[in-house]
Structure 1
Amino acid sequence: MRAIPAPFYALINTTLGEDPAVVVVNTALRSFAGREAFPWHLRIGIACRELGDNGMPTPEELEVVTRLEGQLESSVEADGNAVFLARITARGERVLLYRVHDPEEANDRLQELLAAPAQLREWEFQMEYDLDWALAQPELDLLLQDSKVN
């Protein structure tokens, strides 16, 4: 069994260009010593339908997206195969970022979910090999900019 640190979350209000963004980052990964066990970067993008101000989902939309997020999370994180890195809400999209141990297992589980006849929202995913965690750095760097976290 791979060691996964107990998660600790930081909520960061920031921007993407001119647009507001809300980012939740698992701060436990900043100094996680077992990074080599999770060399794959998984990005899941969920398209939001009902948007309010500045492209942010309405409260009702957040309920639906959060339900879908729970399904994705339980599938991807099953058997300790992935660890949550961050969640970004901006520009009409919810993005989930994970670090993955076995990409084939994660791919198979996500393909099963995509094959389900009824989808709460449109979503897609991409996975890239990223041994040095360079793709995780933008979110981890946000922690350095937030005085509440340091």
Structure 2
Amino acid sequence: MNNFVPATDQVEISIPDEVEELFNVRRDGLPEVIAINEGLLSFPHHSIFPWYLCITLEAQYLIDNGMPSPRESELLFEMVDELSLVVMGGRTMSGSVNALFLARSTWNGKRELYYYVHDPKVVHGKLQQALNSKTWHREWSYRMEFDKEWEKATYIFQVFPQASGLSS
């Protein structure tokens, strides 16, 4: 567990360790491979991380059902690693964790990364720097929305019962 001290309240909370669980599910009739941070399933402090962030990477070389080819998937994972460092490397003004990893999804020609964020300005600035810092191998974009109740995470958390314990 990591400790987080919000800059305004000075209340210490425990951040659960990242525990990824991988699922093969279907969304809109297409296969989806989704890795979910199980540690956030029971995280009670949604109001401290009220900003939903989705980063979308566009795959170019696809095989069956909109899934990336093995080489394409490898390239996307390299980008995911780099972008994850950008998002997760940011800190609050008090030096605490600023973002929580929620999930990573591959579906319909895209790889998406989902996070919840404390201070959106920190992440926005770092992502803008990343967008402008180099020529990326694939197009990517992001959007951030205020979602204090974590309603955007509903689909992701519903994957657990949908999978009926059949994780891979």
Could you state the TM-score of these two structures normalised by the residue count of structure 1?
Answer: 0.94
Task: Specify the alignment match of 1:47 in structure 2.
Answer: 58
Q: How does 1:1-150 map to 2 (within 5 A)?
A: 2=4, 3-78=14-89, 79=91, 80-148=97-165
How far residue 117 of structure 1 moved from its aligned partner, in angstroms, is 2.9
Contact 1:27–1:143 (CA under 8 A) maintained in structure 2 = no
CA distance in 1, matches of 2:161, 2:50: 22
How far residue 149 of structure 1 moved from its aligned partner, in angstroms, is 7.5
Equivalenced residues, count: 150
CA distance in 1, matches of 2:113, 2:27: 16
Contact 2:52–2:114 (CA under 8 A) maintained in structure 1 = yes
CA distance in 2, matches of 1:116, 1:110: 10
Percent identity between the two aligned chains:
36
How far residue 17 of structure 1 moved from its aligned partner, in angstroms, is 1.1
Contact 1:10–1:25 (CA under 8 A) maintained in structure 2 = yes
Could you state the TM-score of these two structures normalised by the residue count of structure 2?
Answer: 0.84
Q: What are structure 2's unaligned runs of at least 5 residues?
A: 5-13, 92-96
Give the greater-gyration-radius structure (CA): 2
Q: What are structure 1's unaligned runs of at least 5 residues?
A: none
CA distance in 2, matches of 1:26, 1:75: 18
What is the identity, as a one-letter code, of the residue corresponding to 1:85?
L
Write the deviation string for residues 108-127 of structure 1: whole angstroms up to 9, x where unpaired: 00000100231121000000
CA distance in 2, matches of 1:39, 1:104: 13
CA distance in 1, matches of 2:110, 2:72: 11
How far residue 9 of structure 1 moved from its aligned partner, in angstroms, is 1.4
Matched residue SS, 1:77: helix
